[in-house]
Amino acid sequence: MKKVLEVTTGEARATPRQAHTTISGRPIEPLYGPADTVSVDYERDLGDPGQFPYTRGIHQTMYRGKMWTMRQFAGFGTAAQTNERFKYLLAHGGHGLSVAFDLPTLMGRDPDHPLSLGEVGKCGVAIASLDDMETLFEGIPLDQVSTSMTINSPAAMLLAFYVLVGEKQGTGAEALSGTIQNDILKEFIAQKEYIFPPRPSMRIIVDMIRYCTERMPRWNTISISGYHIREAGSTAAQELAFTLRDGIEYVQWCVNAGMDVDSFAPRLSFFFNSHSDFFEEIAKFRAARRIWGRTMRDRFGAKDPRSWMLRFHTQTAGVSLTAQQPYNNVVRTALQALAGVLGGTQSLHTNSLDEALALPTEEAVTIALRTQQVIAHESGVVNAADPLGGSWFVERLTNEIEAEALDYFRRIDAMGGMVSAVEKGYPQREIQESAFRFQQAVERKEKIIVGVNEHVMDEKPIPILYIDDAVEKEQVERVAALRRRRDGARLTRALGDLRDAARGTDNLMPPILEASRAYATIGEMCDALREVFGEYEEPAIF
C-alpha cells in the first residue's frame, strides 16, 4: 500500500499545548503599547548610555567606541594541548583568553587523588602546579593578552600561578589584565564546586580582592556569575536576583573588612547567561545595569561612577543546546549571542554546536567564533547603542524583571543576607523547583525543543573531541616527577606558613604565592586549607 504523505495543515500547525510564556514561565501579552511605559521617566529610569543608571549601556559610544571582547572559553587535556588551542583562537580573531580547567583542578585535587579517576583533562585543562601553568601560557605574552580564568574554590592558587608566570615573562602583576571568576556563593547555590564552608570561603575572596586592589589595578577580582545559576535551572528573574544579591554580599563583606567601596567596586565584574527567550534576556541585562547602579550609589554610597557601572561577560546557554540534530545549535547560539549584544555585553563567549556532546572540536569552535564576527561586522546592530531602548515591550519587560529581582532582595535581606540564605538552602531550593517545573513543561510539550520533543528524526553521530585516558597517566607521572625534583624543605615550610596564615587573619595571597613558587601542587595547598577550614558538603536533598 502506498504510504500517505502526512502534511501539517493549518490547524495542526499551532502546537495546541504550547504556552505563550517565556522559557522562565513569564506570561507574554500578544501586544505591548504606550500604556505599558507611561511610568518610565527617561532621566530617572533609563538615561543615555554612559549615564546613570546605565540601563542603556555603560559606555556612551558602546560598540562604535569599543567592540565587545570575543572571548572563547577553552581548555582540555594537557597544558600543552590547550596552549595550542589558545594560539589557534588568538590567530583566528579571538580577542582574549578564557581558561577552562578540569575537575581535579577545580576541586583542588591532584591528578593522582582517588576521586580524580577518569576526570583528568576531560572537562578542561589539567593544571596541578606552576609548572603546568608555565606550559599553558608558553609563547603567549601576558602583557598583551588578557585572560579570564574560570576557577572558584582554588582561585587564589591559580591567580598566584598567573602572577608568577607573568613575572617569569618580565611582566609585573600591575600590568596583568584579566578576570578571575572567584565567585564561591554561586557554587553553593548552583555549580556545587565548593571545597571549604561558606564563611572561610568568603574570607579567601576578601583577601584576594584586597590583594588585587593593592597590586593589580587592571585585574577584575571577581566575576559575579548568573550563568551557572541559570544552567542549574533558575528562571531569568532568579538568575538576575541571585547574581546581584551575591554581588551585594561581596561588597558588604569587603566594606565590613574595612575597605572603601570605591577602592574595589570598579573592579568587580559580572557574568550572565544568554538564554533562549530573546526579549526576556535583553530586558534582564538592562535591568541588571539599572539595579546595580542604584544599589552601588544608594545602598553603599559609592561616589565613583566606575563603582556604579555593571560590566559583564556573557555566555550563550549551554543547557539549551541539544545532542539531537547538533547543527541546530548554531542557530540557537546565534540568536542567544545576538540577545547578549543587544543587551550591551562587554564580552561574549558563544558555545559550539557540539556542546551537548563533548568539548568543542576545532571546526565547531571556529563556527562559534565566526558567529560573533558575523554579528559584529555584518548585521549592523553595533551601529546604534541600545537599539531596543524605547520599545514598549522591552521597557515593560525590563521593569517587570527588575521588580521581581528587588522582591528577592527583600526576602534574602530578611534572611540575614546571602550567606545566611545559602546556609538555609533557600536559593538552592528555588532553583531546583524551577528546574523541575521546566522539565515537566517540556514533557507536556508546553515548551517545545526542536529535535527533542518535536521534529525528531533519525540521525548519524557527528565527529567529536575525545579525550584519551592517556592524559591522566601523563599528568600523574608529570606531578610525580615534579615532587621528586622540587625543594622539599622549602615546600614544607611554605605549606606550614599557609596553614598558620589560614588560622590567623593575615592575607592568604603572600603564603600562597610562596608555596606556588616552591611548586606546591593545588592539591597540597588546598589540603593545607582543608585542615584548617574543614570541608563542606550540602545536605543530600532532592
Partner 1 sequence: MSESEKRRRRVVIAKPGLDGHDRGAKIIARALRDAGMEVIYTGLRQSPEQIVAAAAQEDADAIGLSILSGAHLPICRRVVELLGERGLQGVKLFVGGIIPTQDVHELEALGVAGIFLPGASTRDVIRAFEEALPSPA
Which 482-541 positions form the footprint of partner 1 (CB under 8 A)?
537-541
Q: What is the CA radius of gyration of the chain?
A: 23
Binding span for partner 1 by CB under 8 A among 82-90, 373-381, 417-425, 466-474: 466-474
Instruction: List, in sequence order, every residue forming a beta bridge with 273; answer none if it has no partner.
Output: 315
Q: How far is the CB of 17 from partner 1 (least distance, A)?
A: 15
The binder of partner 1 chosen from 90, 442, 448, 482 (CB under 8 A): 442
Single-letter residue type at 4 = V
Q: Is residue 113 within 8 Å of 156, Cβ to Cβ?
A: no
* Residue 400 cell numbers, joined: 517587570
Calpha distance 46→112 (Å, rounded): 54
The binder of partner 1 chosen from 29, 143, 407, 469 (CB under 8 A): 469
Window 108-147: contact mask with partner 1 (x via CB under 8 A): -x----xxxxxx--xx------------------------
The binder of partner 1 chosen from 443, 454, 477, 506 (CB under 8 A): 443
The binder of partner 1 chosen from 439, 454, 455, 481 (CB under 8 A): 439
Q: How far is the CB of 454 from partner 1 (least distance, A)?
A: 12
Calpha distance 2→186 (Å, rounded): 58
Binding span for partner 1 by CB under 8 A among 130-138, 204-212, 229-237, 515-523: 229-237
> Is residue 458 near partner 1 by the rule CB under 8 A?
no
> Is residue 470 near partner 1 by the rule CB under 8 A?
no
Q: Is residue 425 within 8 Å of 539, Cβ to Cβ?
A: yes
Sheet holding 97-100, edge to edge: 73-74, 97-100, 147-150, 178-180, 219-220
Single-letter residue type at 183 = D
Phi, psi values for residue 92, rounded to 5°: -105, 20
Window 66-105: contact mask with partner 1 (x via CB under 8 A): -------------------------------------xx-
Q: Report DSSP state, residue 224.
A: E
Window 159-198: contact mask with partner 1 (x via CB under 8 A): ----------------------------x---xxxx----
Q: How far is the CB of 312 from partner 1 (least distance, A)?
A: 23
Helix (H, G, I), strand (E, B) or coil at 69: strand
Rank residues 335 and 442 by Cβ distance to partner 1 and give the closer one: 442
> Is residue 448 near partner 1 by the rule CB under 8 A?
no
Q: Is residue 498 within 8 Å of 511, Cβ to Cβ?
A: yes
> Is residue 335 near partner 1 by the rule CB under 8 A?
no
> Is residue 327 near partner 1 by the rule CB under 8 A?
no
Binding span for partner 1 by CB under 8 A among 17-25, 332-340, 378-386, 438-446: 438-446
Q: How far is the CB of 121 from partner 1 (least distance, A)?
A: 9
Single-letter residue type at 50 = G
> Is residue 23 near partner 1 by the rule CB under 8 A?
no
Binding span for partner 1 by CB under 8 A among 27-35, 143-151, 434-442, 510-518: 434-442
Whether omega before 53 lies within 30 degrees of 0, making that bond cis, reads yes
Single-letter residue type at 210 = R
Which 338-357 positions form the footprint of partner 1 (CB under 8 A)?
356-357
Q: Count residues contacting partner 1 (CB under 8 A)?
A: 47
Helix (H, G, I), strand (E, B) or coil at 103: helix
Host H or E run for residue 147 = strand 147-150
Binding span for partner 1 by CB under 8 A among 40-48, 56-64, 207-215, 449-457: 449-457
> What's the angle, vertex CA 162, arms to CA 156 and CA 164, rounded to 5?
105
Q: Which residue has the cell 565548593?
A: 194
Calpha distance 422→124 (Å, rounded): 28
Among left, alpha and beta (phi > 0; psi -120 to 50; other), residue 62 is left
- Sorted by sequence, the CB contacts under 8 Å of residue 136 that are 6+ apart come out as 79, 82, 83, 86, 99, 125, 127, 165
> Is residue 479 near partner 1 by the rule CB under 8 A?
no
The binder of partner 1 chosen from 107, 163, 173, 282 (CB under 8 A): 107
- Sorted by sequence, the CB contacts under 8 Å of residue 482 that are 6+ apart come out as 128, 129, 131, 519, 521
> Is residue 51 near partner 1 by the rule CB under 8 A?
no
> Is residue 328 near partner 1 by the rule CB under 8 A?
no
> Is residue 457 near partner 1 by the rule CB under 8 A?
no
Host H or E run for residue 98 = strand 97-100
- Binding site residues, partner 1, CB under 8 A: 103-104, 106-107, 109, 114-119, 122-123, 187, 191-194, 231-233, 322-324, 356-358, 432, 435-436, 439, 442-443, 449, 452-453, 461, 464, 466-467, 469, 537-542
